[in-house]
Structure formats: C-alpha cells, structure tokens
Structure 1
Amino acid sequence: MKILMYSTFEFEKPFIEKAIHGKLELVYTSENLNEDTVALSEGFEGISLFTSDFASTPILEKLYHFGIKYIALRSVGHDHIDLKKARALGIKVANVPAYSPFSIAEHAVTLLLALNRKIVLGQKLMEMGDYRLDNLLGFDLHEKTVGIIGTGKTGSAFAKIMHGFGCDLLCYDPIINQELIQQINIKYSTLEMLCQNADIISIHCPLNTSSKYMFNKSLFNQMKKGVFFINTARGKIVNTEDLIQAINKGIVAAAGLDVYEKERPIFFKNHVNKKNNDHMYTILRSLPNVLITGHQGFLTNEALQGIANTTIANFNAWAYNDTSENELEP
C-alpha cells in the first residue's frame, strides 16, 4: 500500500521509521492537507493526517476522486475530519485511540506547577540579577480542591498525580469511572458544582458537539475567584474571549494552555520575524498570568512511539484485511 504522510515533522520521523513493517510504502510531506495540497494525494491509496490537517467535505470529495480509500489519523481526536462524509464516500478512517496517557497529564501538571511557583517570572528576574522573592509567592497544592473535566485515560492519569500531591479531587464526566473510584479517593459532581468549589480546574475531555465552548462566560462567572485554569485537551472547549474576560476580572488567577481555539494557522510552524494577525492570541500571550505552550503535551518518546505503532498497525490491518479495529464511526 502506498501512503502519503501529511504534516510530517522531523521529530516524529524516527518513530514512524522504527514502526514500519509489512508491505507499506510511505512518502512524507511537511505540507498540511488543505484545498491547495489535496492533489498531492493522487496516486496514493491511503493518507495519514495530523491535528493540523483539515479534511472537510470538499477535501474528502477530492481525496475520493484521487483514489484515497484509507485515512489514518495520528491522534486520538478526530474533530478535524468530517466522518459522516468519509463514510458516505466509503473512505475508512481510523485514529490512535490511546497512547501514553501520562504525556499530556504530566504536561498539565507542569503548567500548573510553573504557574503556581512563578517559574518563568523567577527565571526572568534571575537573568536580570534580581533575586528578590516579593513577586514569586505560590501556594501548597496539598489539600486544594482540583476539578477534573473528563476521567478517561488522560484525566485518570492526571487525577492519580494530583492524588499524590494530597489534593481533594472533584470530577465531572457523563461516564463514571468506577475503576478510578476504587483506586483513589475521588468524587463526581455536576459541572456547575465543580466550578463553584475547585481551586484548580484541568480539562481532559474530547472536543465534540457537547463540549464545544463548554467553558464560557456563564461557567466562568460561577467559578471560585482566584481559580487556576489548565487546558491541555482541545482549544475550542474554551471560549477564549470569555477566558480573557475572566482573567481580567480576577476570576481566573492564572491559565496554563497547551491548546488554543484558533491554533491551526499558528502552532507547529516557524513564525519568527512574521507578523501575528490573530489579535485575540496576541492579547492572550500578553497577559502575565497566562502560560501558553504550542500543543506539545503529547511530545514524549513513549507517546510518539505509541502513535507511530498504532498508525502503522492501522495501515497494515487495511492492507491485509481491509478492516482495522480502530476505525471510527460518525
């Protein structure tokens, strides 16, 4: 099977090469899948997409015209592809349903600790030769109430880490994780009650029609004043304008973000010496109590190897059996 790997980054190539087996011929391109690059897929039977790619209805129709039968996503999330259209066209789509849950969970903790203990500001002051501690006050995580949105694999990993800090854990998820309840002391609540009581809120749920802009002005206004807000899930779960307003009001004392709702044209690219035209992102970056990383939560050796292994396994399953256990339904 001949496969085009869209949006290939240098950091992932070694892991993909290590995972390759079977009768697969891979061709790499750093180009994103879009209206201008869809023609690159001509002559291939399958393509692989990253979160920076966009497989809309018109693009899927063109992919079908060019002979694409299989699309393997190098991600858990699939909000960047129109699954209903893909199914209607007979194009099979599979994702990576799970890889190291610790990578993103640990990154969420990293953002929290860096914000709380003023690590970035402390380093800037030291570089200036200012060793005063007046502006570096933090708080103990011990016995703080941590609200966790989503208790799947990543949310569960985050919960276990925060349990180790001695935090009280308040969770929200339509599906109760009974196994997690048996392992550590957690409580489930409504989303509103969680927001009213949590000192720290961390998002670990998927983006779908129910979660899009889940965090908006109404929910921020219900939060305890001074809450720390962490999002390592998907940008569009949060209304950024409302988040900025909540920060300016002092409702959100600090925000750690590995995702941003309009990140597609920004993240994963080199913008040195280029003008940023996203006014909202400029405002967000300018806030001293906001720490943004460029969607790097998944960037560990273990996670990248897991993503590569499953992606190659999906293509091999299609090549030999025309079906993969990781195929997605609309």
Structure 2
Amino acid sequence: MKKKLRVAFFDTKPYDRHFFDLANTGETSYEITYIPERLSRRTAHLVEGFDAVCAFVNDDLSKPVLDHLVEAKVPVVALRSAGYNNVDLQAAWERIHILRVPAYSPYAVAEHAVAMMLSLNRKLHRAYYRTRDNNFSINGFLGFDMNGKTAGVIGTGKIGRTLLSILKGFGMRIIAYDAFPNEKAAEEIGFSYHTLEELYAESDIISLHCPLTPDTHHLINHEAISRMKPSVMIINTSRGQLVDTDALLDGLREKRIGSAGLDVYEEEGEYFFEDLSNEALDDDRLARLLTLPNVLVTSHQAFFTEEALRKIASTTLSNLDAWFAGEALENEICYRCNEPECRKEKAGRCF
C-alpha cells in the first residue's frame, strides 16, 4: 500500500478538522496532523518529517519561518485562505511554492457585510441585550431607510460585486471604486465607478472589499474620514490594516463617523479566533472599540458558512493534489505575479 503524504495543519479549530476530514477521502487522501498552535518561529520545528504545511491567515510565514521549512525540506505551503499578506513572498521565491484559495463563497462575506449594516442601522445588537433585561424601550434605536441612500463599495472583485447586487435590491444608489474598473460588471449590475474622493463625499455607507497592498494600507485614515459625510457608516470585512484604528477612533469620538462594523482588526493576530473570555485585553484600542455602542466587532467570521468551509477544504486539498502530481498550479501565488511576463501562465508554475 502506498504511503500517504503527510500534511502539518496549523492553527486547527474543531470546524477545520470536521470539514477537512469530510474532504480528505479517496485515493489521494492525506495523513493530516492537526496542530492547535499557530505556525511561528516557536512552532516551526513541528514541520520536521512532513511533506506539506497547511496554514491560515494568522500563521507566521515570515523569512525566518520559511527558512526553517526549507531546512526541513518542506516544498509547499497550502494556505486555506484567499489573503496572503502574512507570507514573505520574496523569501519564498524559488524555495517554497505558496498555494491559496482565491475564492470560496463571495456570498458568505457579502451577506455578513449586509448583516453588519442592518444591525448597526437598526441597533439590533443593542436591542437583543435590552429586551433580555425586560427593557422594551426603543429610545436610542432610531435608524434610517436604506432605500434611497448611497452605498460606496471599495473593491469590485467577486465579493464587492456580490455586495453591490444585494444592496441594489434594497433600492440603494450603488457606487464603487476600484484601481482596475470592471465596466462590464458595472453595466450588468447597474453601478457606476467614481473616484475615491467622490465616493467618500457621497456615500452614506462605505464597505471595504479590496486586498491589502502598500497602496491600500490605512486607506481609511484621518484625511479620508475628513472627506466623508458626517454620520457615515464604515464596514470592513476585508483586511484589518485597511483602516487606521487611531483615525477611526478619532472619527467616532468626534462624531464624524456614525457607526462602524469590523470583522477584521489591524492587530487581530493575538485575539481573533481565540477564547479570551477569562482574560483582560492588553490592546487598549480594541478594548475601547468594544465599549462603543455604535461599533460592532465580529471575530473574522464573515467567511464562516458551511458552503465556504466546504469549498476551502476541497480547494486546499486539490491544490496539494496538483502539486504532488506535478501539474499546473492554478492557485499558486508569488511576488512576481503582477509582472508583464508571468511564468505561471506559460509553464503552469511560478518557478
């Protein structure tokens, strides 16, 4: 019987084990070792003897960790996420292949963004606790009709376009910004592209759906907030570092921002996905956000639907299947992917 290939699976949660066990069947199934700890310099020694590593968004794939993987002769890392800003791609180049899940369920994230909008607008998160205390007053819960308001979506990839379609169903005016506009999608869905300055000035709700790059780091900052409508609602289900937390807190304090829904946070690595209910937070900014009645924080759960988790598991394992079979790696990523001459397009692999 052929020996199964071994995969070290870091930052394991019960739902990871459930959905990957369901997907890990058939002739090409793997011997997966589920490791609760995150991949880091401290835990990198655990990869010894494995054929591949599976990592998540808060695992550390910096140069020192990648160096250890190279020494352990691990040739491939399969990210079970779309984002890869936790990977030093230059350090991985020509040493370790990095695979990802570019899409799983745009509906999951877009629908979570809408849920945050509705909760903040109609104060559902506050009403839940008030009625549990037998307090049936509705003072302070005044909302607004979303119909007729303007929603600005930054980033019109699959998730952004899905959100635009949903918001159009509310009867909202929908506008968007993207560094690379998709005019065909704009015509099909019925939205228009604007400059960032116009989007800031005209939007009642702003939702972020763009990747984290040097150009988008702290996209929402003091200057951007100063250009927005007073009482604007800001939703971020993309990457935490798109928002300057200090600027956000200042905007909330000065009532330049009416409300904020955050499924991500720029310093979330030590907190999100973990149960810290018996501990005091040592991040003063996060602790302050959690005290504000017009701020709704969820713990990076926008992706968390059954459909999305099934897709993540199947795509992650299919990526590994392609790697070990010597096939083209459709979902490989490297720091040279945006160059005019893309080796992957010709040879099937980044290197």
User: Who is 1:122 aligned against?
Assistant: 127
Cα deviation code 1:231-290 (max 9, x no counterpart): 000000000010000011111100000000000000111112112110111111111100
For the residues of structure 2 that align with 1:45 and 1:24, how far apart are their CA atoms?
A: 10
Q: Percent identity?
A: 38
Residue number among 58, 62, 67 corresponding to 1:56 in the alignment = 62
Out of 295, 300, 306, the position equivalent to 1:301 is: 306
Counterpart for residue 10 of structure 1: 14
> What SS class does the counterpart of residue 105 from structure 1 fall into?
helix
Q: Which residue of 1 aligns with 2:96?
A: 91
Report how far residue 23 of structure 1 moved: 4.7
In structure 2, the partner of 1:46 is 52
| Residues in 1 aligned to 2:280 and 2:292: alpha-carbon distance in whole angstroms | 19
Q: d(CA) in 2 for partners of 1:19 and 1:166? A: 40
Question: Which stretch shifts more, 127-136 or 263-272?
Answer: 127-136
Counterpart-to-counterpart distance in 2, 1:122 and 1:270:
25
Secondary structure of the corresponding residue to residue 111 of structure 1: helix
Q: Which residue of 2 aligns with 1:112?
A: 117
Aligned to 1:173: 178
Q: Over the residues paired in the alignment, what is the CA RMSD in angstroms?
A: 1.0
Runs (4+) of structure 1 exceeding 6 A deviation are: none
SS of equivalent to 1:321: coil
Unaligned runs of 5+ in 1: none
Match 1:228 to one of 221, 233, 239? 233
- Mapping of residues 234-253 of structure 1, within 5 Å: 234-253=239-258
Letter in 2 for 1:98: A
Task: Answer whether contact 1:236 1:261 (CA < 8 A) is retained.
Answer: yes
Q: Is the 8 A contact 1:71 1:94 kept in 2?
A: yes
Q: Counterparts in 2 of 1:1-330, with a 5 A limit?
A: 1-20=5-24, 21=26, 22-88=28-94, 90-321=95-326, 323-330=328-335
Q: What's the TM-score once normalised by structure 2's chain length?
A: 0.92
SS of the residue corresponding to residue 261 of structure 1 reads coil
Equivalent-residue separation in structure 2 for 1:31 and 1:131 (angstroms): 44
CA distance in 1 between partners of 2:176 and 2:133 (Å): 42
Secondary structure in 2 matching 1:27: strand
| SS across alignment from 2:325 | helix
Deviation track 1:194-246 (CA, whole Å, cap 9, x = no partner) reads: 00110000000111111111111010111010101100000000000100000
Segments of structure 2 that go 5 or more residues without pairing to the other structure are 336-351
Number of residues of Structure 1 aligned to a counterpart in Structure 2: 329
Contact conserved, 1:149 with 1:172, CA < 8 A, in 2? Answer: yes
Deviation at residue 322 of structure 1 after TM alignment: 5.5
Shift, 1:177, TM fit: 1.6
Name which structure has the greater RCO, CA cutoff 8 Å, separation 6+.
1
Question: 2:20, 2:90 → 1: CA distance?
Answer: 28
